[in-house]
Amino acid sequence: MVSKNQIKLITSLQQKKYRKQHQLFLAEGVKVVQELIDANYELQDIFTTQDDFSRISSNKRHAVLPTDLKKISALSTPNTCLALFSIPKAVKIESTGLILALDSVRDPGNLGTIIRLCDWFGITTLVCSEETVDVYNPKVVQATMGSISRVNIVYVDLEKYLLDAKLPIYGTFMDGKSIYKEKLPKEGIIVMGNEANGISNSIENIVSERISIPRFGNLQLTESLNVATATAIILNEFKRIEI
């Protein structure tokens, strides 16, 4: 059973304003929820239609019907469980190694996929501009498939952060140097831009190394890659040299 007040609270967490106010976020699905629990995220409540989480203390665990889950889920097809976690305190940003920075990535699916890529490539610091979609948006949490717990994600004034940074700053532009020919370093900041507009002018001015992904298709027509697939290719190029 889910009370009216719980439904109101939980559905409000689909909005950033209320996540900030309550310092809570939603996660759905056994895999994602289990990974967050294992990573010591502070669990507030868990609503489940099955016995998946029988080892969770019972005052946090609520047995619910699929119809109840539908009322509180952010998904069009609800999973078998939904959990509320406290938003963890922001961590200090690492200033060494390979760092990924996002300049206004807006699509939740893209941010989730990029977090999964960071996890795969061992990138532990993801710096987001304040205009980037909120990492605790339920669609982002879902798309990370649990890897959100293994990447430190911080929101900053990106311009200020990059101006203060001591590492070389890489950005992708149509006229940049081929990533296949550049000698890519083990340490640096890679900036990826917005879905529609790419890297903003103010950030472009701070980029020290302009790179590009070579195209093989019809050069007149093929326009661009999706930001998540471009990130996949660029992280692959930076990391492959380590092997």
Which positions lie near a copy of itself, rule CB under 8 A?
35, 109, 113, 116-122, 145-147, 150, 178, 180-181, 213-218, 221-226, 228-233, 236-237, 239-240, 242-243
Task: Return contacts of 238-241, CB within 8 angstroms, 24+ apart.
Answer: 238/98, 238/121, 238/184, 238/188, 238/190, 239/98, 239/121, 239/122, 241/184, 241/186
In the complex with a copy of itself, which residue's Cβ is closer, 70 or 240? 240
Q: Give the shortest CB-109-to-a copy of itself separation in angstroms.
A: 7
Q: Give the shortest CB-209-to-a copy of itself separation in angstroms.
A: 19
Rounded Cα–Cα distance for residues 142 and 94 (Å): 26
Map tokens 């080892």 to a residue. 55
In sequence order, the β-bridge partners of residue 45 are 84
Closest CA to 143 of 89, 103, 90, 105: 105
- 49 contacts 61 by C-beta, under 8 angstroms: no
In the complex with a copy of itself, which residue's Cβ is closer, 20 or 215? 215
In the complex with a copy of itself, which residue's Cβ is closer, 119 or 134? 119
In the complex with a copy of itself, which residue's Cβ is closer, 159 or 173? 173
Q: Give the shortest CB-96-to-a copy of itself separation in angstroms.
A: 16
Map tokens 């190394």 to a residue. 209
In the complex with a copy of itself, which residue's Cβ is closer, 62 or 139? 139
Q: Give the shortest CB-202-to-a copy of itself separation in angstroms.
A: 27
Closest CA to 53 of 32, 67, 70: 32
How far is residue 240 from each of residues 12, 52, 122, 232, 233, measured CA to CA in Å?
Answer: 43, 39, 12, 12, 10
Q: Give the shortest CB-180-to-a copy of itself separation in angstroms.
A: 5
Q: Give the shortest CB-217-to-a copy of itself separation in angstroms.
A: 4
Q: Give the shortest CB-179-to-a copy of itself separation in angstroms.
A: 9
How far is residue 19 from each of residues 34, 40, 107, 149, measured CA to CA in Å?
Answer: 21, 19, 18, 18
Determine the distance from the C-alpha atom of residue 193 to the mean position of all C-alpha atoms in its chain, rounded to a whole number. Answer: 14
Determine the distance from the C-alpha atom of residue 93 to the mean position of all C-alpha atoms in its chain, rounded to a whole number. Answer: 16
